[in-house]
Each structure stands twice: as C-alpha cells, then as structure tokens.
Chains A and B, each alone.
Chain A
Amino acid sequence: MDQQPASVIDPVQRVRIWYALLLLVFGIFAVRVFYLQVIRYDYYKKAALSDQLKQYTVPAERGIITASLGGSSVPIVMNEKLYTLYADPTVVKNAEHVAAKLQPIIGGDAGAITKQLKTSDTRYVILKKKLTPAQSDKILAFKFPGVGTEEQDYRTYPQGTLASQLLGFVDNSGQGQYGVEQALNKQLQGKPGQLKAVTDINGIPLAASANNISTQPVKGDSIDLTIDVGMQAGLEKIIKAAQEQNKSQDVSAVVMDVRTGAIKAMANYPTYDPSDYQDVSDGSLFQNIAVTDPIEPGSITKLFTTAASLQKGVITPTTSFYDPGSWTIDGSKVSDVEEDHSTGQQTILSTLDKSLNTGATWMLMQLGDGRIDAQARSILYDYFSNHFMLGQATGVEQGNGEEASGYLPKPTDTGAGIDLTYANISFGQAYTATALQMVSALSSILNGGTYYQPQLVDQITDGNGTVTKVAPRVVKSNVISTQVSNDIISLMEQNNTNHIAEGFPYLNFGPNYAVGGKTGTAEIANPLGGYYSDRVNGTYMGFVGGNTPEYAIVVYNLQPTKYKGFAGAETGQPVFANIAHMLINDFGVTPKAK
C-alpha cells in the first residue's frame, strides 16, 4: 500500500468502508426500533387498540309470553329471526335475470322486482321482508352481486290474533307497545350483553387479549299469563259474533276468577293482527278498550248501590218500598227507563229485575236522611271509591299509563245538581268505569268481600329458569260482609231465574250451577251536553259458579245498532249467557254439591 498513490483506494478498504456503512445502517435501525418500540410504545399501543379493539352490544333475547291451555303453559308470543331481502341497485347486474330467479322464492311480480332492482336514486331497496331462513339461504346461494339478506328479530304469534290487544306488540326498535309488552317491557327485554374484544379485521374476536371483556346477555323474563288460551279463544269468538250480529261499534268482555282476581280472558272486537301491526291504520285498534275506555256503565251499577245499602243496613234483601214512579231532584225528574214502570210497592229484587232507577235512587236516599244529602253522597262515594275502587286505575299489567281510571264525581263537589248527579250514579250514569274496573269490583262482592288487584301475570320465569309466582294481591279486605255477599249472589241468581221466565230461556243453566247477573242499558253522554237519544251501550255483569261463584263476567256491548228491545237485555245478556255456557261446558266450573 505504501507504494500506491493516495488517489487509489485500496479495495480492502473499500470493502471495510462498505461494511462499516452497513453496520452504521444497522445501528440506525436499532436506534429507530428502540424509538418505536420502547419510547413510542404507548402511542403505538393506543393506535393499535383504536383499530383492533371493538365494542359490541349483544342483544338479549326477549322473553316469551305464555298462557295456560289445558293445564299447561303454551307460548302465545315467541321470537323468530326472519330475513329482509335488500338490494343495491347500483351493484346489481342483469336485473331481469335476478328478478326471474328471485320471483319463485319471494313471490310477487317479476316485473315489479326488476323495476325495483333498477331504481337509480338509491343504493338500498327492500325487496321483501320476513323471509324464512330457508328462503334466505336459497337466495344467498345465487350469490348475486348487490343482493343480500339481513337478519331481523320478530315477535311471532302461534295463536294468531289471540289476545292481541292485551298483549300489545314490539316495534322495530325492540320496544314493547301497548298491553303486556309495554307494561312489562323492562322484564321482557332482558339485559343486553357487552363484548369488548381485540378482533381481526372482520370483527371476529381473537382469543388472547387482556383487554377482552365479555358479558353475556341476560335473556328477558318469560311471562306466564293468567289468561286461559281456550277461554280467551272462546270469548273472542263469542264477542266477534255479537259484534257482527248487533253491528256494534265494539264489544268487550272480561272473565275474572273471583277467588284471585286473575283475569282468565279479556277481549275486544274488532281487534288486529299483532304480526302485521304496521299495517294497522286505525291506531285505536291497538287499545285494549276493556282497560282503556271507560263508559257510564248503566244499571249494572245498581248491584253496587244495593251492596252498599245492604252493608249499611238501611235495607235488607226483602225490603219493600213505595215507588212514586219518579223523583224530582235538583229540579230534574228521575224516572225509569222501563216501559212498564208504575207507581206502587217495589222490592229490592224487583228493582234489580225491572232495573228501576227510582229504586236505586230510593236506596241512595236511605243512605242519607231519607233524601239525597251529604251523608248519602259521601257513603255512596265511600263505597264506590274505597270499597269497589272505582274512579282509580286498577294497576293491571297493561301499557304505560294506558289504563283509564274512570271518573267518579266527588260528593263534595259544590257544582249545581250534585244530588242529581249522585242519583244518576246510583243507577249507573254520571260516572264512568272500564269493564275491568267493573269486573274487579263485582269479584270483590262475589268472593265475600276481598278486592283483588286484577292480575294478568301468573308467574315470571327469569333467564336462569327461576320461577316467581305472582301472588294475588289484596287491595282491600272487607269490602262488604259475607252476609251481604251472599245476599247479592242470591239476588243476582233470582234475577237470572226471573229473566228465564221473562223470555230468556237461554239463561237456564240447569240446577247444578249458580248463575246470576244484571243487565244495563247505559245512555251515552253527548259531549255537547245531555245524552244521545239514539245510541246506548248494552252492558251486563254476572257470574258463574257452583256453591260459590267462580267467574265474574262483565260485557260491554258498545253502541249496538241492530237489536230489539233494551240494549242490556238484548245485546249484553246474550253475550254473557254464551260466555257462561262456554265456561260451564268447557272449563270445568265446579257444580253445586249435591
């Protein structure tokens, strides 16, 4: 090297310089990697997790709703996953071909489908909803670009429209609307699960990560209703027939077990199909009017007035009194609706049998000082409000604030004609109550004086299978005495017996069963003042049993237009009779002990 000119670099040196440069690069790499992995670790860890860590809500399965059928529970509301077929018209190729292949599976018109597939202003058209998994699989097997199916949860109703108004439905956002679905939405919904996990790019959770958090969804509670499916179906059939025969606006009826306050059947007609709730144009169809629509119940109220008077001791079942044909109260004449009303001696039974308004008013007077005074008013009010729980919502498991409380005027109201108002209340006008309120109050009289909260839920099964029985809830004991209870039962039975003789042979249930009732023909208040002259509601309140009453039944036949005679006797009473026959024939009412 010593002999070489300085300008020529020795090749060995070149290799070494090169190698040194290489090592330098390695050094730089090491420093850079140190910077990335050690100094900037937190930053990159965060950046990584912001990509990799995904959070999901795992929807909880909604609880099902069951009801009893032949001694066991059967589901009446269940869940179903169905598929919505959609397409992105901008991606779909050969729309005619696609439509031709889809049409046999989804039905409809191939031309219409083609047209939808060619929609130009959107990237999302829904071709068909509620496809079964099999249909969905078939369509997906075609692998048409731009055509897909989306899973969606639906409520499904194996019993069809059964009890739809008391059940309610579940809307698109998974919230219960109306009925039990809304009232018990929280329990039915369950608790959605959380999944926070490091996932792959497609969102599939990877196994090994300290950051993974997974809470399982808690399945919603299953609700077992007190409703008897067979009874409900029979009741619906009966009221449907009545509505069609009488051309009524609505018919609703409630059957309650007097021993527990359990609602065994509750129906209105017309009704709707909950699986097609979105097609219902008249929103009032969603309402369970037996709970939501109070009316002036009419003469069936006379049983309450009688019970209060008996309990107060101002009358006995055999008391007779002089009926002047009409009373003048607050300057107005209170008279009877019945044609054959006449002045003369009347009894409590004939008051009920002939449905004498004057008789009911007379009883109210006996509660006072022989006339309608503050004492009479407050006693009647006390019984109606604090014993029969009228004028307040029962708290049944229906809707949120859906239930109506009805209207019961206060005895202390100083407005003009409070005495006349109370005279009206005594025979069932001037106050309002729902069918459910009436049946609950009647039950308390029939069962010897215990007012149970009307109850739709029999038991609740939570996600773990733990069953909680819902015990009957006593709202008020000693509503009336047992003696008064027996008196009323006896009066109702005699009333029924009289009606058989008066031309209603269908009220004959034979000697083994105790059946009683009271008709009502209720006038309808005109919002403009006074009452309509051309429309009434036919109502009926009765019971079926053996030695003791088992079922209390209230029928509201609203604004029937096709009937002869009195609405109560001609549109309420036959519905009751059919229900009573059904209960006796099909639902094992215990006959009288021999």
Chain B
Amino acid sequence: MSAVPLGRRGSPVDNQSVRRHRPDYWLVILALFLVVVGLTVVYAISPALAATSGGSGAHYVSRQLIAIGLSIAAFSVTSRVPLRTWQRWQMPLLVAAGLATLVALVMPVNALYPQHRWIRLGGLSLQSVEILKFALIVSVASFLARQAASGQLNNVQRTMKPLAYMLLAVTFVVAAPDKLHGQSDLGSFAVILAMIGAMVIVIGLPMRRILLAGSILALLVTFVIVISPYRRERVTTFAHPNCLTSGGYQACQALIAVGSGGISGLGLGRSVQAYGYLPEAQNDSIFAIYAEKFGFIGVMVLLGLFVALFARLRLIIERTSDVFSRLVVVGILAWLSTQMIINVGAMIGLLPLKGITLPFVSYGGTSVLFVGAALGLVFQISHYTSFSARNVQKGGGQRTMNQPHVFSPASGRSGGTRRRPCSSVYSRYTFSQELPPGIRRNDLRLTERMHEVDSP
C-alpha cells in the first residue's frame, strides 16, 4: 500500500500538498436532485401562485430557472477561482457584503418588501444577508486559520475580541428589529451564529469559552425576542398554533399541508394547500407543499437527499488537510444544515416560524445563487481531499513534518480511517501537479505550528 494514496506519480516528498484529483461529483448530483425537486414543485404550483397571488404561472418557473442558471455560473466561478485567492480577497469580500447590507438597510420599505432585507435594482431584488453569509464564511474561516497558524487562537485580545465585535455588528444589522433599523431577520442570524459557532468549535477553541460566548448570545437573543412584538407573537403562536389567528395561520396551514399528505401524498399536481391556503407556498413553505404532494415516503426521500449531501460535506471536512479549506466547508455545512433544520422544523411544528428558505429547494434567486456559490467552494475543496489517515496510522501516532493535517483523524479509533475517499476512483486518475489551494510549499511551517496548537 502506497503511503501516498492519491496520484500514482505522487511521491512521499510532495504529499505535504495533496494533488488535485477527481472532485466529489456526488455534491453536484445531490444538489441537482434537490434543485430539480424544488423546481418541479414550483412548476407544479405555479398555476396556483398565478391565480392566488397574481402574475403568470410561467413567471415563477422562469425566474427560478434564471436563478438556477446564475447559480450554476456562480458555482463554476467559485469552484475555479483558487481558494487562496478567496482567502486573500476575504477582506474586500467582507467589505462588499457589508456595503450591500448597508444599501439594504437604507432601502425604503414597502408592502412587498416590508423589511430592510432587500437590495432592489429595477426588477431585481437581492437578499443582502445571503451575501453576508457567504462573505462571513470566507472571512471568518480565513481569520481563524490565520490566528490558528500564528498560534493566537486562544488569545483573548487578538482572536476573541475581533470575533465578538464582528458578532455584535452582525447582531445589530441582521437581528435587530425594524425599530432599530435592523433587518429583523432572526432566522438568518441563527444561521450565521451556527456557521461561526461551528467554525470556532471545529478549529478547537476551548469549550469553556465557547459556552461562555454561547450563554451571552442566548441572553441577547432572548432580549431581542422580548423587545420585538412580532417575535413574541411567533413564539406564543408556536406554543399554541391556531389557524384563526394571523400569527398562527401559516404554522397551522403548514401542519395541515404536511399532515394531509399522508403516507404517499396527494400527488404532484394535486396539492390544495398551495392554492392560497398556505402562504409562501413556493418559498418558505415549500417543504410543507412537498410533504403534501409526496407524503411520508417523499419526505423521507428528501431528508435522505439532505442527509446524503451533508454526509458528503462531512467527509470532505474530515479529509481536508488545509485549515482554511476545512473551515470553509464547516461553515457551509453549518449554513445549509441550520437553515434546513430551521425551515423544516417550523413546517412540522417543532420550531417557531422564521421566514427562512429551504436551501436548494425553495424559490428565491438570492438563496439559490449563493448556495450555488458556496457549493462551488466545497466542490473545489473536494479536489484536494486526502486519505492520509492511514499515513498517520503507519506513523504510529507520531506526527511528522510530512503530515499535513491540522487535526489527527487517527485518534486511536479506526472508524475514521476506514472510510474510503470521496471518490472511489481517485487512484485511477492523476489530475495535475498543482498544489491544493490551502497549501503552499512554504506553508509547512504553518502546519507544524498548528500541530502545536492542537496537541500541546
């Protein structure tokens, strides 16, 4: 067995940098499945949307198709632009996202767009928070990787404080209610928290600090809920859903949609709740409509698709040697999973309604666009996964300079090491000699230091 499983021309010398290999096509396939499911549902209910909320049926489908097209374009861009470049340009990216958010905040609100969440240009409208999510992942991952590389991860002044300030800023922009000219978007705020939290946890910040920050945040969130009447209402209606109150209407209709689907569903063209009963049928409530159409079996398939996608992401996390790359994937997994949980949880009455889309599936250009962009990053990273756990095992737990891993999968358990690489055919192909984006030859120092962080 070769010490270097990836690339037949690979030599022990350059295994510090994993060669580019065949990417994880499952990512694309699973995502496409989800997108097609969403598009199908939107297509199927488009007459209902046209009849109950005006416009033509083709409007929704064509807009979604355009969004998917843009999303694919974004995917191909983010999957090609080297990760290093992203890392280098993280600050301009964050600044751009911040500017976009500011533009959204100064946009006047109207009946169609009741909050400061959208940037509207002519007929286009962008949800600024989606840009922010994407930029934050790149930026925070880059920041944490740098801090980790310089061994300052535990430094309160240099790591904790900037993070806290940034969080505070995000809180005031995203979570603050309309009164304070915030976006009043607690759902997205939760997603951002989950993203950053996941990155912080995975990079290995002491749990004590994480828990401390967590409790402060919990207090803050409670405060925000208490001062915002419509959030209070959402929480109370969550406790007692009732179709007759304006606040409980959507939650109740969603439950009816899901419940009336039964085991096998009403059928693709036979949803009734989409015909004006369930608000946001194409968007936030698309899961309930899907459940009504396809029933329990369909929901299991959909959840299965998500689980499969998340499993691929997790594998990539475990097999990515570069800290920045891994953090990016961690952030994206947190993003997609949290959003999915919040959305589906609300539809099945386990969580309060948050007004958040179901990734890949929901109608809505910005979400589809940036989820596609994020997936592009993951796709690029999946070129550089490695199987190096065996390598480590061979070394009997001794870490050498040749070991590019930040953390050691060989934690004495063989479970992680038995996994196959993301693609079983990697060894048959050699792609290129270029280094993975996270690793430069002179980064060897970096990996060394990170070992110190990890294992003092």
Where the two chains meet, the residues of A that have a C-beta atom closer than 8 Å to any C-beta of B are 1-5, 8-16, 18-19, 22-23, 25-26, 28-30, 32-34, 36-38, 40-41, 43-45, 47-48, 51-52, 198-202, 204, 206, 208-209
Contacts and interface: CB of A to CB of B under 8 A. Distances in A.
Contacts of A34: 296
A30 B300 contact: yes
A343 to B, nearest CB: 96
Nearest to B275: A200
Interface stretch (B58-66, B77-85, B254-262, B441-449): B254-262
Contact of B341 (A2, A19, A25, A45): A25
Tell me whether chain A's interface is mostly helix, strand or loop, or mixed.
Answer: helix
B51 interface: yes
Contacts of A52: 272-273, 277
Interface string B344-356: 1100111000000
B204 A12 contact: no
Given A3-B455, A41-B262, A44-B260, A14 B204 contact: yes
Given A11-B407, A29-B344, A41 B263 contact: yes
B310 A48 contact: no
Interface in B435-456: 454-456
A201 B260 contact: no
Given A16-B416, A33-B300, 9 more contacts: A1-B408, A12-B407, A18-B198, A22-B341, A32-B349, A33-B291, A34-B296, A37-B299, A201-B52
A1 B348 contact: no
Contacts of B409: 12
Contact of B256 (A14, A26, A47): A47
B29 to A, nearest CB: 20
B303 to A, nearest CB: 6
A428 B258 CA distance: 84
B123 interface: no
Contact of B310 (A13, A22, A28): A22
Nearest to A47: B256
A37 B259 contact: yes
Interface in B248-279: 253, 255-263, 267, 269-270, 272-273, 275-277
B411 A12 contact: yes
Interface residues on B, range: 35 or more
B263 A201 contact: no
Nearest to A201: B276
Nearest to B317: A15
A206 B263 CA distance: 22
Contact of A37 (B262, B270, B272): B262
Contacts, number: 148
A202 B276 contact: yes
A552 B356 CA distance: 87
B12 interface: no
A13 B310 CA distance: 17
A52 B266 CA distance: 14
Nearest to A3: B455
Nearest to B345: A29
A28 B344 CA distance: 11
A15 B269 CA distance: 41
B207 interface: yes
Given A37-B296, A37-B299, A200-B51, A45 B411 contact: no
Contacts of B201: 14, 18
B323 to A, nearest CB: 10
Contacts of B207: 9
B330 interface: yes
B91 interface: no
A12 B319 CA distance: 10
Contacts of B303: 26, 29-30, 33
B348 A33 contact: yes
Contact of B258 (A10, A15, A44, A201): A44
Interface string B273-294: 1011100000000000001000
